[in-house]
Structure 1
Amino acid sequence: MDMDAFVAASKPTWDRLEDLVRRHRRLTGAEVDELVELYQRATTHLSVVRSGSTDALLAGRLSSLVARARSAVTGAHTPAWREVVRFFTVSFPVTAYRARRWWLGAAAASLVVAYVVGVWVARNPDVQAAVGTPEDIRQLVEHDFADYYSEHPAASFAGEVWINNAWVSMQVIVSAVLLGIPIPWILWQNAANVGLLGGLMHAHDRAGVFWGLILPHGLLELTAVFLAAGVGMRLGWTVIDPGPRRRGEALAEQGRAVMSVALGLVAVLFVSGLIEAGVTPSGLPTWARVSIGVLAEALFLTYVIVFGRRALRDGETGDIEQAPDLAPTA
Structure 2
Amino acid sequence: MMNVNRWIARREPNWKQLDDLLTRIEKRGLRSLSTEEIKNLASLYRSVSADLARARTNQKLVGNTIVQDLQRLTSRGYSQVYQGSRKQEWKNAIEFYKWGLPEVVQETIAYSAIATGLFLLGGLIAWWFSWRDPQFLEMVVPEHLIRTVRDEGKLWMGSILGSEPTAASQIMTNNLSVTFRAAAGGMTLGIYTIVILFLNGLLIGSVGTLVAQNNLAFPFWAFVFPHGSLELPAIFFSGGAGLLIARGILFPGQYRRIDAIKVYSLKAAQLMFGVIPMLVIAGVIEGFFSPSPIVPAPLKYFAGIGLFVALVRYCSRKRTTQSA
Q: What residue is the counterpart of 1:325 in the other structure?
A: none
1:320 matched to which residue of 2?
none
The 5-angstrom pairing of residues 264-303 of structure 1 reads 264-283=274-293, 284-303=295-314
Is residue 53 from structure 1 mapped to residue 64 from structure 2 by the alignment? no
Aligned partners of 1:217 and 1:35: how far apart in 2? 48
Deviations along 1:38-95, one digit per CA (max 9) or x if unpaired, are: 8787566444322212444422312444576799999x63623202202211332222
Paired residues in the alignment total 312
The answer as to 2:91 corresponding to 1:85 is no
**How is 1:185-224 mapped onto 2 (pairs within 5 angstroms)?**
185-224=195-234
TM superposition shift of 1:112: 3.2
Percent identity, aligned pairs only, is 22
Q: What letter corresponds to residue 123 of structure 1 in structure 2?
A: R
Partner SS, residue 160 of structure 2: coil
Q: How much has 1:110 moved relative to structure 2?
A: 1.6
Mark the CA change 1:59 to 1:176 in structure 2 (over 3 Å): closer, same or farther. Answer: farther
Unaligned runs of at least 5 residues, structure 1:
317-330
270-279 or 63-72: bigger deviation? 63-72
Contact residue 220 and residue 272 of structure 1 kept, 8 A: yes
Give the conservation status (yes or no) of the 8 Å contact 2:237–2:272.
no
- Alpha carbons of 1:149 and 1:276: their partners in 2 closer, same or farther (altered >3 Å)? farther
| Matched position secondary structure for 1:82 | helix
Structure 2 equivalent of residue 62 of structure 1:
70
The CA deviation string for residues 245-298 of structure 1, in whole angstroms up to 9 with x for no partner, is 333223212212222222321210111112212221123222110111111111
The 1:297–1:178 alpha-carbon spacing in structure 2 relative to 1, beyond 3 Å, is: same
Deviations 1:280-321 (A, max 9, x none): 112322211011111111111211111xx438x9999xxxxx
Partner residue of 2:17? 17
Alignment correspondent of 2:107: 98
What amino acid sits opposite 2:304 in the alignment?
A: G
Q: Deviations over 1:3-54 (max 9, x none)?
A: 653466447535653575356957898x999989987875664443222124
> For the Cα contact (< 8 Å) 2:104–2:267, is it kept in 1?
yes
Segments of structure 2 that go 5 or more residues without pairing to the other structure are: 26-31
Which SS does the other structure have where 1:182 is aligned?
A: helix
Aligned to 2:148: 139
**Two-structure CA RMSD over aligned residues (Å):** 4.0
Instruction: Give the superposition deviation at 1:201.
Output: 1.6
CA contact (8 A) 1:20 1:35 kept: no
Find out whether 1:310 has 2:316 as its counterpart: no
Of 104-113 and 239-248, deviating more is 239-248
- Name the SS for the 1:244 alignment partner: coil
1:120–1:199 contact (8 Å) kept in structure 2 = no
Matched AA of 2:316:
I
Give the Cα separation in 1 of the matches to 2:19 and 2:165: 57
TM-score (norm 2): 0.78
CA distance in structure 1 between the aligned counterparts of 2:109 and 2:240, rounded to whole angstroms: 8
Shift of 1:108: 2.7
In 2, the alpha carbon distance for the partners of 1:72 and 1:134 equals 60
Distance 1:47 1:300, change over 3 A: same
Instruction: Tell me the distance in 1 between the aligned counterparts of 2:77 and 2:253.
Output: 44
1:121 Cα offset (Å): 0.7
Task: Indicate conservation of the 8 Å contact 2:241/2:269, yes or no.
Answer: no
Distance 1:173 1:100 in 2: 15
Q: Which residue of 2 aligns with 1:324?
A: none
Question: Larger deviation: 98-107 or 85-94?
Answer: 85-94
Question: Does 2:255 align with 1:249?
Answer: no
What does 1:106-125 correspond to in 2, within 5 Å?
A: 106-125=115-134
- Report the Cα distance in structure 2 between the residues aligned to 1:83 and 1:204, rounded to whole angstroms: 51
TM-score by length of 1: 0.77
